Chain A
Amino acid sequence: MLPFILKRLATSVAVIWVIITVTFVLMKVCPGGPFDRERSLPEAVEKNIRARYGLDQPLWRQYLAYVAPLLRGDLGPSYHYQGQSVARLIREKFPRSALIGLLSILLSIAIGVPAGIFCSIRQNRWNDRLTMLITIVGVSVPSFVLATLLQYFGAVRWGVFHAAGLIRWQDAVLPALALSVYSLAFITRLTRSSFLDVLHDEWVRTAYAKGLTPLGVLVGHVLRNAILPVVTYLGPLTAGVITGSLVVEKIFSIPGLGEFFVTSVFSRDYTMIMGVTIFYSILLVALNFLVDIAYVWLDPRISFEGAKAR
C-alpha cells in the first residue's frame, strides 16, 4: 500500500507542476498586458509599474519568481486589486463557494445513490423508466438554466427565498440545488448501472441462496462492490461543481470564488486567473489522490496489482 501511495503522490506533484507551468506560459503568451489602458501611460510610469511587478525580467526569472513563493502558498499580488494578495482574496472568497459546493455534493450523493439503487432493483418497471427519463433531462439541462428557473420560481414568483446574496443560511439552498441537478442525475444513472452489473453476479445469487434477506444482500454484499464507480466519480463531480459555481454564483450574486474568477477574467487580472486556476487544480488533484487511495482501500482486489501497474 505504501509504495502505491508514494508513487501516486509523486504523480500528483508532477501534475500540479505541469498545471502551474502551463498556466504560467498561457498567461505570458497572452497578447495585451494587464496594464494596457485606453490611454497609454507615460513611458516612465509604465516602466515603473512593469518593474514593480517584475515584468521587465527575462521569462525564466519571472517563472522562478512566481514558482518559488508558490511553495509557501503565496500566489503573488493581484494586478487589479492594489495591495491585495491573490492568496488572501482566495481565502476570503472560497469559504462561501465551499459551503454551497459541499451542500450540493452532499445533496447529489444523499439522493442520487439511493435513487440509483432503487432503480436497479426495479429495473424496467415504470418507476425505473420514469426516473431514467427524468435523469436524462437532468443531465441535459445546464446549471445556469436551472439557476434561472429556480430564481424565477423560488424567489420572484413564490418569494420563498431571496433572489440574490448570501446572508442567511437559506440563501445557500437555491444555488446548491442548481449546482446539484446534473451530478444528482449522473450519480443516479451511474449507481443504477453499477448495481445492475453487480446484482447479476453469481455470488449475489449465492447470498440469496444461503437465505439472506434482500436488504441483507444489498447492504452486506452488493453495496461495497457497486459503490466503487460512484467513489471514482467524486473527482469529476467536484470539478463540475467548481465550474458550475462560476455561473451560478453570478446569477445569485454570491460573492464567492466562482463569481470572483469571472470578474477577474474581465479585468484581465492575470495573477488572479492563474491563482484561482492553480488553486482549484490542486484541490482537484488532491481529491483525485484521496479517491484513488480510498479505491484501493475499498477494493483489496486491485491494491497489489494497482501498485505494480502504476
Chain B
Amino acid sequence: MNERRTERAKSPGRLIARRFLRNPAAVAGCAMIVALVLYALFAPALSPRSYEDQDYDHIRESPSRLFWFGTDDLGRDMFVLLAMGARVSLEVGLFASLISLLIGVTYGAASGWFGGRTDQLLMRIVDILYGIPLLLIVVNLMVILGSGLQNVFLALGLVYWLDMARIVRGQVLRLRSSDYVEAARALGVGHARILLRHLLPNTMGPIIVTLTLTIPSAIFTEAFLSYIGLGVAAPRESWGTLASAGARLEFLRSSPYLAFFPAAAISLAMLAFNFVGDGLRDALDPRGWSGRE
C-alpha cells in the first residue's frame, strides 16, 4: 500500500501538478481565471438589467450600491457591460488559440515529419512571416473582413500560429528518429497514425504551454483592435471598446472609473493567463526550453 503510494507520487503528471501548485503566482492566476469565467457566465443573468438597458436617470454615475461599477455615458450598467466584455475576451482567447493550434500543429507536424525540402520551404515561409509586423497584417485583414467577432477570431487565428508551428516542428523533428517511432514504422503503422498516436502526445507539454501563452496575446490583440475601432461591432461591447470610450479626455476628468474598470479588467485577465502560462512552463520543464529555440 505504502509502496504504491510512492510509486504514484512519482508519476510525471503528479510531479507536474505538484510543481505547478507550489507556484503561488500560477495558482493565483488559476483562481483569477475561474473567477473571471464565473463572472462572465453569471453576472449578466444575476443583474436585473440587460447590458443594452439604458437608464437615463443614472448617466455616468460613480460606482454606488445600485451600480457597483457605475454607469456609462448612455446610462448602461458597467457591471453588466464588463461581464459582456469578459465573454468577448474569453471567446477570443479560446477560439483564436484553437484556430492557431489547428493551423500551427498541422503545419509544424507536416514540416517536421516530411523534413528535407518540404521542411525547408515551409520554414522559410514561417521565417518570412516572422519578418512582417504581424499586428499591421491583422489590421489589414480586419479592413478586408470588416469588424465583427468572428472576423477577429479568424484574423488572429490566421496570424498567431507561427510560434506553434515552430515548436511542433522542432519536437517532431527531434522525435521522428526515436526508437519507438522506428518500431511503429517497422510494424507498418501509417504516417497519420504515427503522428497522431505517437508523436503529438509526446509534444503535448510544449503545445499546451504555447497555447496558454497565445491566449493573453489574443485577448490583448482583440482589445487593441476594438480600442482603435476595428474589433467587435455594436451592439456588442468588449473591454477594448469600453476602455476607449472611457479614455476620452472629458470623461477622464469627470468620471475616470469609466476608463479604470475596463483597463483593470484587461490587465488582470492578461496577468492571470501569463501567470498560468509561466507556471505551466516551469512545471513542465524545470530548466530547458523557455521559449528560446
Q: Which residues of chain A have a CB within 8 Å of any CB of chain B? A: 11-12, 14-15, 18-19, 23, 26-27, 29-31, 133, 136-137, 139-142, 144-145, 148-149, 151-152, 156, 163-164, 193, 229, 239, 242-243, 246-247, 250-251, 261-262, 265-266, 268, 273, 276-277, 280-281, 284-285, 288
Contacts and interface: CB of A to CB of B under 8 A. Distances in A.
B5 interface: no
Interface in B225-259: 227-230, 243-244, 246-247, 249, 252-253, 256, 259
The residue in B132, B134, B137, B292 that gathers the most chain A C-beta atoms within 10 A of its C-beta is B132
A16 B230 CA distance: 26
Contacts of B108: none
Given A142-B223, A156-B253, A30 B274 contact: no
Contacts of A133: 25
B224 interface: yes
B27 interface: no
A148 B263 contact: yes
Nearest to A289: B131
A144 B136 contact: no
Nearest to B223: A142
A100 B207 CA distance: 37
B271 interface: yes
A137 B228 contact: no
A133 B259 CA distance: 24
B195 interface: no
Interface stretch (B73-81, B139-147, B174-182): B139-147
A9 to B, nearest CB: 13
A281 B271 contact: no
Given A136-B275, A250-B228, A243 B135 contact: yes
Contacts of A281: 131-133, 136
A288 B128 CA distance: 11
B131 A288 contact: yes
14 contacts: A136-B275, A137-B271, A140-B216, A142-B224, A144-B227, A145-B263, A148-B246, A151-B247, A152-B259, A164-B249, A239-B133, A246-B135, A277-B137, A281-B136
Contacts of B278: 136
B33 interface: no
Contact of B132 (A19, A149, A268): A19
B143 A273 contact: yes
Where chain B touches its partner, the secondary structure class is helix
A31 B228 CA distance: 21
B51 interface: no
A136 B274 contact: yes
B45 to A, nearest CB: 28
B118 interface: no
Q: Which 7 A-B pairs have the closest CB atoms?
A: A243-B135, A140-B271, A140-B270, A145-B263, A148-B247, A141-B267, A239-B133
The residue in A133, A148, A243, A277 that gathers the most chain B C-beta atoms within 10 A of its C-beta is A148
A99 B139 CA distance: 23
Contacts of A229: 292
A84 B246 CA distance: 34
Given A26-B144, A288-B131, A266 B229 contact: yes
The residue in A29, A140, A151, A288 that gathers the most chain B C-beta atoms within 10 A of its C-beta is A140
Contacts of B216: 140
B68 to A, nearest CB: 21
Contacts of B247: 144, 148, 151, 251
Nearest to B265: A145
B153 interface: no
B263 A149 contact: yes
A23 B140 contact: yes
